[in-house]
Amino acid sequence: MKKLFLFLFIAIHSIALAQTTYNQGYYIDNNNNKTECLIRSGAWQNNSEQFRYKFNENSSEEIKTIEEVKEFYISNEAKFKRFTVAIDKSSTLMNQLSESPNPEWATETIFLKVLVEGDINLYEYQDSNIKKYFFSTDTHEKAEQLMYREYKVIDGIRKNNHYRQQLYNLMKDRINSKSRFEYISYKKNSLTKLFLEYNGDKAKNLSKKEFSGSLNVKITAGLVPSSLTVNNNVISYGTFDFGNKTSFRIGTEVEYIMPFNKNKWAIFLNPNYYSFNGDGSNSRSDFSVKYHNIELPLGIRYYFYLNTDTKFYINPIVNYTISLSSSKLEYTAINNRETILELPIGNERTTTFAFGTGFAYKNFSIEGRFHIVKDILKNYNYWDSELKTFDIILGYKIF
């Protein structure tokens, strides 16, 4: 079982990494020509010097470099502008700190990620463990670094916080309280909030997540083809195959779409009611089983979007089952109809695993879910059972 789920995890991870998507966007070249295109999606954690794009879904992928492009934008992801700047790339890692408080400037041409636009713009540069912030004013043709630097001294670490003085000088015409700048941290959220405050109604916040989490609730129902066999090697009447049955399941699903990676990841809980009833006979006795339970599948879901309305998904699941008090396995003697054996299996808790794959279109979904074999007699010595189930689940999102 461990090998199976390790394989499933590796498969899901590999599929997720292999998926390549393109978002609507544009780029502006050195002649100020704006070209609409599809730009390859990326995390953009590090400021790249190039990007990949297509003119349409059927065209081949091409590359644009920083030498060719002044600006590019990826819908729902980021906007970048090219600048030639003086940059101090000092690290904040202890083993890489300098002993000098003074910046070590280098002139580079880089793409800066736009966080806030307005009278004064805010930008971010990130490269591995280095994160720096820049600003621009007036025509926004030039960008200047907000200076922050950590350095080593004999008794520990000190900080060059010159960026606070820079911000006060920039913004004192509208924010005249100097104390507003004395403790502001060199972090994206803090700086973004300040720049939005200064720019007021003119501000455009490009740092906010355009992907937000959302909660979905579904009604679910479906069919469950099942089979059950029980066995006891100690007694002669202890083996029976209840054969294949198709039962009905009904439930609900609560799903939370994660606010990252373009809403491709979700977690969900799908409580439902399911039962298996069967009977039969051999030369000595009649057999019957009633297995009524509440299932609480908890899973992780990964979506593959074909378009806004259409998507496929896969989900590994941990399934917690509570059998109801009416559940029991019973053997009845044929000659006098007396019960010769009764095994209560109600109020038992069982944890198993499942794996599903499905298709969703707007509010409708259909999923096939394979369950690992369940032993409903695991609490009885000398008895074992194999309950095999496969769910065919229809869903309708109510909100």
CA distance 331 to 287: 5
> At 160, phi and psi to the nearest 5?
-90, 105
What pLDDT sits at residue 18? Answer: 46
What pLDDT sits at residue 20? Answer: 59
Domain 214-397, CATH among 1.10.357.10, 3.40.50.300, 3.90.550.10, 2.40.160.20: 2.40.160.20
- Give the global pTM: 0.57
List the beta bridge partners of residue 371.
Answer: 354
- Please provide the distance, in angstroms rounded to a whole number, between the alpha carbons at the two ends of the chain: 36
Kindly report, residue by residue over 302-345, the tens digit of the pLDDT. 999 887 788 999 999 999 999 998 888 877 766 666 666 778 88
Kindly report, residue by residue over 180-194, the tens digit of the pLDDT. 999 999 999 999 999
What pLDDT sits at residue 76? Answer: 75
**How many C-beta neighbours within 10 Å does residue 289 have?**
23
Pick out the chain residues at pLDDT < 50: 1-5, 7-8, 11, 16-18, 43
CA distance 98 to 343: 74
Domain with CATH 2.40.160.20 in the chain: 214-397
Tokens standing for 155? Answer: 């008794």
What pLDDT sits at residue 255? Answer: 96
User: HEC profile for 9-20?
Assistant: HHHHHHHHHHCC
- Tell me how many degrees the CA angle 75-64-137 measures, rounded to the nearest 5: 65
Tokens standing for 48? Answer: 């790249």
CA atoms in the 13 A half-sphere facing the CB of 119: 12
- Residue-wise DSSP of 330-388: EEEETTT--EEEEEE-TT-EEEEEEEEEEEEETTEEEEEEEE--B-TTTTSTTEEEEEE
What pLDDT sits at residue 92? Answer: 83
Tally helices (H) and strands (E) across the chain. Answer: 4, 24
Which has the closest alpha carbon to 327: 354, 349, 298, 296?
349
